[in-house]
Structure 1
Amino acid sequence: MSENKNNLESLNKIDLFFQLFNDMSDLVYLTKVGKDGQFSYVLANEPAQNFSGLTSKSFGKPIEEVLPEEVFHIIEEKYKQAITARESITYEDRIVVPPSYSNRLNNKYSPGQFVYWESTITPLWNQEEECTHLLAVVRDVTERKERENELKRMNDRFELVWNSTADAMYTFDRHQNFVSVNKSFINLLGWTEGEILNDWTISIIPKNSKDDLKEIIKRVKSGEVVPSHEVQRITKEGKLIDVLASYSPIYDGNGNWDGAVVVYKDISERKKYEDQLKHHALHDYLTGMPNRNFFSIMLKEEMTRAEKSKRTLAVFYLDIDKFKVINDTLGHDIGDELLKEFSRRVKACIREKDLLARIGGDEFGILITNLHDKKKSIEIAERILSSFRNNWVIEGHHLKVASSIGISFYSDPYKQDEKLLLKQADIALYKAKGNGRGNYQVY
């Protein structure tokens, strides 16, 4: 009774094995390795039989007799490779579904569609170290490969956009280390991708912008997208460039902050143009000196500084004596050249920190700042007048040029504003002219 029970249990186990064996979705083949090196199928589960078109008559025959020739050559090569390697090998195949195979694949795929298979071949050895059998497990990985291919296509499209955009872009991780840069970043800042990703000592942030960046990182960590704002960044050559920067947070698979993507739009040309416009708005087109607007702005600022420092501020108002006669006699071109030379000579006589401006026509203004003693301004006025005594040769014309200077001092913040200070210097100028020209007068 006990023996029959054991036999029954053995039969049940075999039945269970074959039930599981045939229920597997993977294709499973057990192949015998003959003494002559021929391969023949010994066992195959139902999915494998259906797919390969095997019948009971197929087992025991050389596989070249039961498989299409092109399939046989591929399998034979892989079998021999596994035996030579003495270990399992895994490889992938891609086939185009022929019309006759559609039903073998349970009509899961259409004729002409690509199907991907992953095969693992394991050699089995006897005690004499002879390979007697090969176990092949073939798995349909089409869905996985299609997902991988779609992901690759998405990555390729992203890479194309990433490297085609005109704006410089990069990503950094939670430790603020560079993770990736696009081609525009490399072109704009000069570092190669290898340099910027592998050398953590490289910094593109100027020292005076580091606190600003800390505040930005704080905002990005909290999930905020920081919109475009003007900043400066350092190129590999050490040049400062102006960019519009924007920051967007990046999260990991668990939803934790994992860095950011940064976009830089190069606005160097725009800033250059804006600076040129600003310069033209505040400078005289002929002499290149500051104009009346700039002079007025600086006069207000210097009056405030003088009041705080308790030091003296002097304003000079000067022009070229009888300039109209020269201009009308020799022409405007000569007059223009005279104005340029006049501004150069005056500029050479004042201190570097003082300001010379063309107020209009042949009229100029000078701010003499941070004076401990009014006598210093008198010395400067005398130096200017002395410089005019040297020969003037303008476009081949030998001229005698003189100037009158009016001087006012900022001494009473309760009564004097910038307009009154200029008016007082102007009054002193006309007093100098009334005294014979070529001299200075203090209001």
Structure 2
Amino acid sequence: MKSEPDIVRELREAEKLGLLKGKTSLVYRDPSVLDDSGKGFDADVDSSFSSVDMFFEEPLGRDELFRVIVESTSDLISITTFSLNPRYVYVSPSHEKIMGYKPEELIGKPAFDLVHPDDKKRLFSLAKRYISLKVKGLFGERNHEISERFEYRVRDKIGNWRYLESTANLVGNNIVFVSKDVTERKRFEHQLMDLKKRFEDVAFSSGDFIWEIDVSGRYTFVAGRVKEILGYTSDELVGKTPFDLIPDEEAKRVKQIFERIFSEKKPIVNLENWNLTKDGRRVCLLTNGVPILDETGNLLGYRGVDKDVTERKRMEERLRDFLDNANDLIQSVDSEGRFVYVNKSWLKALGYTMEEVESLTLFDVIREDYIQHYRELIKKVSEGESFQGVKNVFIAKDGREIFVEGNINGRFDEDGRFVATRAIFRDVTDRKKAEEQLKESELRLRTLFDATHDMVLLLDVDGRILYSNNAMAKSLGKNVEDIINRNIRDNLPSDVYESRVRMSIKVQ
């Protein structure tokens, strides 16, 4: 069952305090059973639920009824004399609860004594205007009534300053003030303003600008170094969308990304986008933002930060131009092996187009026996390790094997999170083929020398045996493996070495 409406509870409290003079009866019941006899009057509180009937055997007078209402309200109601130095002539009981003063402590006291010094001048000007209008009324001029809302500070009994939001009405020879204590609201507003100021200061000092957009994508708040970056003031951007500043082709790309992020209510993370300044220059912004949701999870908009990364982007473009035209094969892959970047030499060597590379991973273009090794290598690089002299075998689009050697390290963002590997490889396929051919030639020579009955011995300049065939080793009474890498002196009698062998061997 619903509880009694506020007005019923307040009237019951007034009854307990003896504020309702005369014999009274408060009846709380369904509207369908109200007595239509006309006795008393009905106060329709909620036509869908209930009504309050107040029956008086001795009805309240008009002044008494107003007094009941005034003394039952939680607002601060006061009446002052009409002068440049107004004094209290009436103070409602609610002052004691909010301000700490009993009504009798304020009656007869100057009202301005409690007002903050910084607010007195404004209230004094208001009093002068009231007097001016009153004087005009005395001379028969009409429309001299005045009622307006204003805020000011007053000191409570324990010395704290409280904010009041008041309306003042000129009634006869008095001014009636109806005030609401808005101290908590003002404290919250000040905290919010302080937080906003700190946020703006941080954004300004960091070279960024901060923003908020509503669910339609329009700026509702902009602060920071926006004028330095884009040439617009904050007020000029409010009401615009980010796409009003982005060139058409770029806007098409960015809008697709925004629509996907908005639909999923996901954060905006490191989104690079090119914008046009007020004077037509191109600047690159790095955008990060988070969704603003209501209590039920509905999207209200986004708030975030834009950083000017134009110089960094142009430096990256110059570096990219250098890398694109390098002779080495340069690539960058993420933690899953997806290509982030490959240069022109890489494309030319493997025979792929850039469009084809976008659908490939590193593991699609390396020889099968290297795949597991490179998975482990990427993991170690993502943990901060770097490697030199790394070998790899690429499989070109036409099936050719491309042997490479190079260095690999990692690229990390400002927060230390791994972004991608960076690798520079040199194509050593020709050298690899030459080495294979040399090995084949050496093998053929060894086979030939081993088959001959002539003694063949190959020494370095220091007399170390590099090669010996079976015939030579046999003549020395040893096996081939026993004399390889040993000095010839250790394998011949000294007189033989000095007199004959030394002159007959060919030193290489």
TM-score bin, normalised by smaller chain: 0.3 to 0.5
Bigger RCO of structures 1 and 2 (CA < 8 A, at least 6 apart): 1
- TM-score using structure 1 length: 0.47
- TM-score using structure 2 length: 0.42
